[in-house]
Each structure stands twice: as structure tokens, then as C-alpha cells.
Amino acid sequence: MSPGFQGRPRSAEPALPPGQYLTEDWPVLSAGPTPRVPLDTWEFVVTAETGAEYRWSWDELMGLPQETPTVDIHCVTRWSKLGVTWRGVSLDTLFDGIDTSARYALAHSYGGYSSNLPLDDLRGGRAWVVHTVDGGPLPAEHGGPARLLVPHLYFWKSAKWVRGVRLLVDDQPGFWETAGYHDYGDPWREQRYQGD
């Protein structure tokens, strides 16, 4: 290497998954009407494949260890929003002490929405139940009071208005997957639709 050689200049543009564009906005996209869930009746339930249920009220969720991940989010409709800061509870915390041989999970929401995920994608500090975004309560139109956050997959996998996760031995498609969306949804591999 010759003196003064600095290598190739680095791009100032952030790396985006293929086919995505950067936005500062946060478009509101929903499959149906926005549910309004009072905090005094909200609950989150993990249902094991045996049928055993593990429940948390809103106050109990707030009493668990909270994390503040800052992550990028990528919508299947091609927009990406970078550096979004959330606050919530890791799924690792919620799964702690649950004995399971499940390999899959089906997240389900108030309002009837669902999304399927491999259980490994909800573990290892990769997924949260979040209630705060950029320092304020998560707005209802974006999934408040709480939504699932799985930022390494397309955002439809991060179920809005989440109310629980059912652990499954065999995969079961969710709402958009039954309509032809990809079962996994990796934005870096452009897994938007079945066959991608």
C-alpha cells in the first residue's frame, strides 16, 4: 500500500435492502380498522404447544425489564425508515421459563390479524413487544398500545396490536401469508411473495 492511500471512499448513503427507498415519514398501512384496546383490559398471552398459557397484564408487562433498541424497519411496500428507537420487552424475557419443543410461532392481534414466524427469529435479542416509539407512546394507527417488533424481517411480520404468541410444532400461515405473501419475509433477499 502506498503512503496516503485511503482506499475507496465510503458512500454517505445508508445501505438499504434491494428495491427499498428511504422515507422520513411512517406510512400507515392496515388490513382492517384500528382496534382501540383499553390498557386495563389489554393482555399478552404466550400459549405453548401443550395449551399452557402464560399471561401478562399491561402493568405486569411494564414491570418487566425494558429494552430500548434502535433499529431500521422495512415495509414490503418498499419504504424503509432508519434509526427508529423503541422501548419494550424482549421476547426472550417473555419466553424465559417456558419449556417448549415448538419451532414456529403465530403472533395474533386484537382485530384478528396474525403473522407466522420461526421461533428462532423471536429469540436471541431479535424481537420485542414494544409500547413506545421515539420517546412517546406507540400511536394506535401504528399498532399501539403494543406491537410486535421483528426488525430483521419485512414489517408485516411485526404484528400491530399484538395480544399474544402461540407456539407451534408445525408452521401455520398468518393473515398475509394465506394471501400469497412470503412465509419468511427477509427484506435483504426480497422475499415479498411466495416463490421470491
Residue range of the domain that includes 113? 40-189
Classify residue 108: in a domain, yes or no. Answer: yes
Tally the domains of the chain: 1
Q: What is the pLDDT of residues 121-165, one digit of tens each?
A: 999 999 999 999 999 999 999 999 999 999 999 999 999 999 999
Residue 13 has what pLDDT? 56
What's 184's DSSP letter?
S
DSSP-assigned states of every residue in 119-163: GGGGSSS--EEEEEETTEEPPGGGTTT-EEE-TTS-GGGS-TTEE
* Three-class DSSP category at 176: coil
Please state whether the predicted TM-score (pTM) of the whole model is above 0.75.
yes
Q: Average pLDDT in the 78-87 region?
A: 96
> Which CATH number do you get for residue 68?
3.90.420.10
Classify residue 25: in a domain, yes or no. Answer: no
For residues 165 and 5, the model is more confident at 165
